[in-house]
């Protein structure tokens, strides 16, 4: 439900409305702590904020299944799931995290069913399960049916169910609000060491074009992945790594950001995902000679080997001259292989894989029941992200110790609890989002008692006034006509962002006039410019001063690198091509170095020189696209730095100049900061020492 107004202060702000964010929200409002405070008349304030409408979140595109050792079709054991997850991650997995993932997977799936998820059923009424790559029985001996599914639309089912439960519980949503800044403050802990504490966020309301400071005791990042770093991706257009980039800019690190999974079966040259369920139900990969080649690379599990193994095998076939061209471009590059689904049977295919079948018909013009389908690896999932504990707490790695950022949490693909290590198994993503989203929400709930006691006063007597947008109310003190300079880090960040909005909408040469309240619609509602001295806050922001010169978008080429009529969509496309050539599936020192040079010398300067073609702030998609471009650049630089530092090949990460796994030096997590500096954190080995990995 949309709130009647957006407050200027909340107990909990959740950024992102996919499976992780919604699971966290439900865990908070269904907790005993929340109920106790509500009974006392101190109901905690919670807001889910999303740059999309919640039901457009990328969770809805997940197709094949959610992994859990339910044993509904054949005997299964969570210990086998645990082993498969560690092996699948090529032993870069924190084994305590993988154990939690596997042990509580059945409970997570059962809870989803009780919430209303309409799983497919066995003949006797149990949740149906299918085979998925890398999931085995008896510690790797044979594939096992572990993925609970709803035809091939499990993500859609989970997303809609969680959203309905949140609406029914009264959770408030601010949809089409873009979070531009994560604000942290410095504090001294009991030992005398400096630590960080969350202060809140700055967000841009796309409906009104206004910038808002929202204070929060607890902030959870659940912003999804960053597939748009690559040209060929299964990810939706909105997955631009926003949460990860915000963390970097706020002075935090990203863990294992070099590990990106390329799903083996993206529909040729569209990147659209053809679910692993297509192979789980009997689909076979074939090369140009019609040979089912996976037996050469994974003799035991063949087409159901781990995704990184299958993707590298496809690339090996293409390199050997056994690739095929996309039938839509018969004279184009032979960089695909065939997916043969003809053995599944038309009726079974329509019943179990309706979305895959429809996608192939609509976008390839082929009938998969009688024709082979061209596929190639597509960027699918970021294993790395914002480092978190098992309870979802974000931490910094400093001097060999984890330092928790008070009040800051993360869950889902933007986070890294390191349950996936160097490669994620299919079905473990939805599980991760729902399970660790819930655990994060439970952790937040435990903090609420103290938080609301300390700051209950803000729930009453707050001055508000209506905006022009559907009755939504905006805090008065954020309006340009009423605000004054402040030493508060959060509001300083909001002022800096407001100036950035003015610069992007009008060009710097007009900024002096633009900040005059009421002169034109671009400034209506913007926070006044900040003249207060700098404080000690860390803010994920790109102030106006960071750009060198920003000519109007119709200007000719300028010394700062801007091109005539440059735009963020062009830059995202160029960045995707650069990253794909550099680190897609494989890389080496030369490809990494070349990509860094192109980004530093061309893409980044042009991105900082961008301005909008329209001066209207409301519903200006180009404005948010510029911020997304800057976030992708920030994340791309971090990814290249981590890739350059890891001198080995492991899981989804392949260095052709370092083709072997090196446990002695690199059985460690990379921790990369905004400056590209890489530190290392040991992997948590519990009861499974590293061993060779083969399928």
Catalytic residue among 130, 145, 146, 307: 307
Q: How far is CA 660 from CA 223, 315, 320, 386, 657, in A?
A: 33, 18, 21, 27, 9
Bridge-partner residues for 644, per DSSP? none
Structure tokens given for 368 = 């998969």
**470 three-state secondary structure:** coil
Give the Cα-Cα-Cα angle 104, 380, 431 (nearest 5 degrees): 10
- Beta strands 393-398 and 401-410: pairing type? antiparallel
Contacts of 414 by beta carbon, 8 Å cutoff, 6+ apart: 16, 221, 222, 223, 224, 225, 241, 243, 244, 382, 385, 386
Cα 409 from chain centroid (whole Å) = 14
Backbone φ, ψ for residue 455 (5° rounding): -135, 40
Question: How many of the other CB atoms lie within 10 Å of CB of 366?
Answer: 16
Rounded Cα distance, 276 and 66, in Å:
12
Q: Which long-range contacts (CB under 8 A, 24 or more apart) does 202-205 make?
A: 202/490, 202/493, 202/494, 202/497, 202/541, 203/49, 203/174, 203/177, 203/178, 203/179, 204/177, 204/178, 204/179, 204/180, 204/497, 204/501, 204/623, 204/624, 205/6, 205/174, 205/176, 205/177, 205/469, 205/474
Rounded Cα distance, 678 and 669, in Å:
10
Question: How many of the other CB atoms lie within 10 Å of CB of 595?
Answer: 26
Task: Encode 246-273 in three state secondary structure.
Answer: HHHHCCCCEECCCCEEEEEEEECCCCCE
Radius of gyration of the chain (CA): 25
Q: Does the annotation count 477 as an active-site position?
A: no
Q: Which long-range contacts (CB under 8 A, 24 or more apart) does 360-369 make?
A: 360/267, 360/274, 363/267, 363/270, 363/272, 364/267, 364/268, 364/327, 364/328, 365/328, 366/327, 368/339, 368/341, 368/342, 369/341, 369/342, 369/344, 369/345
Kindly state the helix (H) or strand (E) to which residue 47 belongs, with its residue range.
strand 46-50
Contacts of 186 by beta carbon, 8 Å cutoff, 6+ apart: 194, 195, 196, 197, 536, 537, 538
Rounded Cα distance, 199 and 10, in Å:
11
Structure tokens given for 7 = 């407050």
Both ends of the chain: CA-CA distance in Å? 47
Backbone φ, ψ for residue 236 (5° rounding): -70, 170
Q: Are 426 and 134 in contact (CB under 8 A)?
A: yes
Kindly state the helix (H) or strand (E) to which residue 205 belongs, with its residue range.
strand 194-205
- Eight-state DSSP code of residue 519: S
Cα 632 from chain centroid (whole Å) = 12
Buried b (16+ CB within 10 A) or exposed e, 25-37: bbbbbebebbeeb
Q: Which residues are part of the catalytic machinery?
A: 307
């Amino acid at each position: 439900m949309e709130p009647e107004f957006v407050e200027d202060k909340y107990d909990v702000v959740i950024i992102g409305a996919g499976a992780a964010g919604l699971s966290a929200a439900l865990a908070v409002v269904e907790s005993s702590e929340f109920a106790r405070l509500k009974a006392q008349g101190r109901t905690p304030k919670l807001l889910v904020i999303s740059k999309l409408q919640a039901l457009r979140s990328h969770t809805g595109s997940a197709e094949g299944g959610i992994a859990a050792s339910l044993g509904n079709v054949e005997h299964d054991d969570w210990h086998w799931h645990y082993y498969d997850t560690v092996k699948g991650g090529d032993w870069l997995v924190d084994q305590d995290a993988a154990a939690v993932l596997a042990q509580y997977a059945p409970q997570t799936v059962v809870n989803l069913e009780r919430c209303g998820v309409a799983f497919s059923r066995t003949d006797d009424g149990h949740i149906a399960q299918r085979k998925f790559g890398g999931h085995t029985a008896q510690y790797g001996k044979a594939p096992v049916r572990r993925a609970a599914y709803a035809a091939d639309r499990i993500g859609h089912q989970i997303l809609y169910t969680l959203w309905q439960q949140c609406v029914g519980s009264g959770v408030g949503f601010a949809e089409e609000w873009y979070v531009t800044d994560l604000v942290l403050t410095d504090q001294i802990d009991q030992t005398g060491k400096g630590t960080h504490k969350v202060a809140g966020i700055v967000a841009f309301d796309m409906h009104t074009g206004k910038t808002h400071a929202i204070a929060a005791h607890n902030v959870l990042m659940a912003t999804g992945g960053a597939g748009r770093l690559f040209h060929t991706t299964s990810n939706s257009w909105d997955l631009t790594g926003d949460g990860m980039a915000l963390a970097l800019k706020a002075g935090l690190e990203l863990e294992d950001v070099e590990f990106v999974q390329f799903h083996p079966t993206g529909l040729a040259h569209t990147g659209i995902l053809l679910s692993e369920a297509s192979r789980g139900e009997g689909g076979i990969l074939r090369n140009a000679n019609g040979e089912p080649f996976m037996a050469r690379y994974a003799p035991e599990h063949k087409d159901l080997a781990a995704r990184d193994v299958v993707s590298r095998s496809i690339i090996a076939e293409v390199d050997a001259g056994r690739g095929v061209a996309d039938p839509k471009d018969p004279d184009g590059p032979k960089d695909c292989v065939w997916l043969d689904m003809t053995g599944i049977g038309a009726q079974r295919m329509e019943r179990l894989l309706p979305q895959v079948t429809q996608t192939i018909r609509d976008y390839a013009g082929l009938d998969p029941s009688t024709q082979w389908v061209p596929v190639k690896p597509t960027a699918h999932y970021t294993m790395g992200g914002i480092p978190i504990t098992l309870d979802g707490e974000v931490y910094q790695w400093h001097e060999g110790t984890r330092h928790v950022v008070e009040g800051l949490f993360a869950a889902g693909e933007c986070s890294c609890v390191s349950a996936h290590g160097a490669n994620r198994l299919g079905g473990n993503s939805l599980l991760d989002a729902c399970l660790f989203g819930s655990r994060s929400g439970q952790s937040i709930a435990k903090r609420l008692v103290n938080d609301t006691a300390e700051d209950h006063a803000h729930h009453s007597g707050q001055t508000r006034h209506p905006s022009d947008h559907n009755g939504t109310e905006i805090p008065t003190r954020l309006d340009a006509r009423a605000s004054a300079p402040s030493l508060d880090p959060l509001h300083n960040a909001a002022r800096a962002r407001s100036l950035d909005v003015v610069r992007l909408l009008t060009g710097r040469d007009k900024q002096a006039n633009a900040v005059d309240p009421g002169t034109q619609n671009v400034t209506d509602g913007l926070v006044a410019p900040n003249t207060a001295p700098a404080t000690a806050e860390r803010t994920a922001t790109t102030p106006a001063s960071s750009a060198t010169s920003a000519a109007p978008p119709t200007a000719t080429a300028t010394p700062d690198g801007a091109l005539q009529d440059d735009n963020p969509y062009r830059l995202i496309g160029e960045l995707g091509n650069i990253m794909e050539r550099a680190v897609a599936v494989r890389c080496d020192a030369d490809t990494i170095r070349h990509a860094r040079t192109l980004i530093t010398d061309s893409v980044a300067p042009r991105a900082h020189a961008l301005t909008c073609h329209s001066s209207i702030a409301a519903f200006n998609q180009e404005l948010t696209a510029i911020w997304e471009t800057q976030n992708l650049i920030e994340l791309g630089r971090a990814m290249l730095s981590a890739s350059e530092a890891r001198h080995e090949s492991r899981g989804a990460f392949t260095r052709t100049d370092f083709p072997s796994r090196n446990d002695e030096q690199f059985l460690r997590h990379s921790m990369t900061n905004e400056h590209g500096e890489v530190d290392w954190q040991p992997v948590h080995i519990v009861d499974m020492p590293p061993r060779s990995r083969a399928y």
